[in-house]
Structure 1
Amino acid sequence: MTVRPGAEAFARDGDDVGVLLLHGFTGNPSSLRPWAEGLAAAGRTVRLPRLPGHGTSVRDMARTGWPDWLAEAETTFRDLRRRCRVVAVGGLSMGGALALALAQKYGPAHNPGPLPGVDGVILVNPAVRLTDPRLGALPVLRWVLPWLPPVGNDVKRPGVKEDAYDRIPSHALHSMLRGYRTVVADLPAVSQPLLVLRSTEDHVVPASSSALILDRVTSSRADEVILRDSYHVATIDNDAGEILRRSLSFLADLAGAPPAVGVAGRTR
């Protein structure tokens, strides 16, 4: 198994505030690398794993599914949790759904074992709901059509391209959607502070996905920041700097530092 150049996992040790970042479906860590490097440059401890089947070949991905991706995220989280006093989980698109799944399992209501749980959640264009009516046929269609057209590279900034697969494995897509249903059903279990950054123009995930999350979580703090100059893969788009700035302010709040001035989003 050969990992594509630039798709390698990223890990950097810093202070006692840790951040786990999770990439999206058919993508790889390269789409979150600037975000991870920016957090690390600010002194935070950062982990950005490469999810199973991603960043190698689409045939590798066809042999994986939601349980594999969630297991990798959970293993990385538990390692980070042992190292850090405060840990936030974040993600782009499907990575956001995985982050929510961790917040649910390692939240105040369900946290197993002696380790502390997830302290905060940062989501960029999170995917828990897709509205394409053709997806209703997927349970049957996946046995007939093993590959579907791609959804990657939704980037506004000229000259920037996401390193995503050129097709979608149908069985992996079906597994992801089943994972989404589980996450949506347990959204009220998410009570940690939440930051959602959403692009006004996103050609992959509808705005109703973020709205559903904000409506159903029980977080006492749930901020929504609107990104006006990026498409779906905002972490490598024109608003990448804004994502980093808002994330650093959110982490400072979690760590107990005075809140940054002038960066609050829409607070519920």
Structure 2
Amino acid sequence: MIEQYPVLPGAGSFFFKGNETGILISHGFVGTPQSVRYLGEYLASEGFTVYGVRLRGHGTHYEDMERCSYQDWIKSLEEGYNFLQKHCRDIFVIGQSMGGTLTLNLSQKYKNIKGIMLINAAINSIPPMERYKNNYTLRFVDEGEPDIKAKNVHEITYLKAPVRSIQQLFALMAETRDKLPIVTCPVLAFRSEEDHVVPPENTNYILSSIQSDIKEVIHLYNSYHVASMDNDKEFIAEQCSLFIDKLLSNVTTSIK
């Protein structure tokens, strides 16, 4: 899929070269790497190599997004993973919202991923979008304001969402749901207790369906759906760093 529009200012992917531990980060539906950039910058400051990927059809124009299938988004994240493999020995993946769905999908395919972190991942229900699952008359719908509790936060996002893309999102969720029982890597899941897009029960479903020996949940009480930009963003970044360090130290200990 060739995009026909240029990338919006500030919406491009980002890469910070650090040590041999790589962290791949995916934004969510209609979002851009800008929504997870704080997280990326924090982890880079901790010495990690970080790549925030821009999913195809995102960060340009919603007409580009309309031409994408969910396989294009899967491929975008896989390309990011392959890029990081050239620079790093160990790779972790973080996903916000649909990025969390893609992260789960990726982790069942690449078993050498050391661990994944999910931020309000979507897997079985998105109430505001349910009405469009079988709608073949509308082309675009208004997106509304991003679901962020903090004041004066600007997210680069589309003002409209293609109905076809919403349907592709639900198809991605269905495929990933079927694969959850073969996810075995360590998982840290962040769950906003007040989320007006993806109900917190999505996180419960994920954790009850995967087969990981290590699976943790952290409840967020001061952020809405786009938690990576919200009041808990620093806390999320800190917890991700601690989770990664803990897993790396366990690997080191087991080698000894």
With the length of structure 1 as denominator, give the TM-score of the two structures.
Answer: 0.88
Secondary structure of the residue aligned to 1:121 is strand
Contact 1:27/1:152 (8 A) holds in 2: no
Residue 130 (1) aligns with residue 130 (2) = no
Aligned residues: CA RMSD: 1.6
Residue 244 (1) aligns with residue 248 (2) = no
Change (3 A) 1:196 1:159: same
Contact 1:198/1:224 (8 A) holds in 2: yes
Q: Which residue of 2 aligns with 1:233?
A: 226
Change (3 A) 1:5 1:201: same
Secondary structure of the residue aligned to 2:188 is strand
Residue 217 (1) aligns with residue 221 (2) = no
* Distance (Å, rounded) in 2 between the aligned partners of 1:236 and 1:97: 19
Q: Which residue of 1 aligns with 2:34?
A: 30
Secondary structure of the residue aligned to 2:189 is strand
CA deviations on 1:182-232 (whole Å, 9 max, x unpaired) are 101110111111000111110000111101000011111101001111110
Q: Which residue of 1 aligns with 2:6?
A: 2
Secondary structure of the residue aligned to 1:32 is helix
Contact 2:190/2:218 (8 A) holds in 1: yes
Q: Which residue of 2 aligns with 1:197?
A: 190
Change (3 A) 1:24 1:152: farther
* Distance (Å, rounded) in 1 between the aligned partners of 2:210 and 2:131: 26
Match of 1:66 among 65, 70, 73: 70
* Distance (Å, rounded) in 1 between the aligned partners of 2:76 and 2:187: 22
Secondary structure of the residue aligned to 1:232 is coil
Matches within 5 A, 1:156-175: 156-175=149-168
In structure 1, list runs of 5 or more residues that go unmatched. 108-116, 259-268
Secondary structure of the residue aligned to 2:59 is coil
Q: Which residue of 1 aligns with 2:254?
A: none
Task: Report how many residues are paired.
Answer: 247
* Distance (Å, rounded) in 2 between the aligned partners of 1:134 and 1:226: 24
Match of 2:50 among 46, 50, 55: 46
Contact 1:152/1:162 (8 A) holds in 2: no
Q: Spell out structure 1 runs of 4+ moving beyond 3 A.
A: none
Contact 2:100/2:120 (8 A) holds in 1: yes
Q: Higher mean Cα deviation, 129-138 or 175-184?
A: 129-138
CA deviations on 1:115-145 (whole Å, 9 max, x unpaired) are xx21100001111122528726623x1x310
Match of 1:106 among 110, 115, 134: 110
Match of 1:253 among 226, 246, 254: 246
Residue 146 (1) aligns with residue 147 (2) = no
Secondary structure of the residue aligned to 1:56 is coil
Change (3 A) 1:33 1:133: closer
Identity across the alignment (%): 36
With the length of structure 2 as denominator, give the TM-score of the two structures.
Answer: 0.92
* Distance (Å, rounded) in 1 between the aligned partners of 2:130 and 2:235: 33
Contact 1:65/1:175 (8 A) holds in 2: yes
* Distance (Å, rounded) in 2 between the aligned partners of 1:58 and 1:42: 35
* Distance (Å, rounded) in 2 between the aligned partners of 1:233 and 1:85: 30
Q: Which residue of 1 aligns with 2:20?
A: 16
**Quick one: which amino acid aligns to residue 250 of structure 1?**
F
Contact 2:143/2:158 (8 A) holds in 1: yes
**Quick one: which amino acid aligns to residue 113 of structure 2?**
V
* Distance (Å, rounded) in 2 between the aligned partners of 1:124 and 1:221: 17
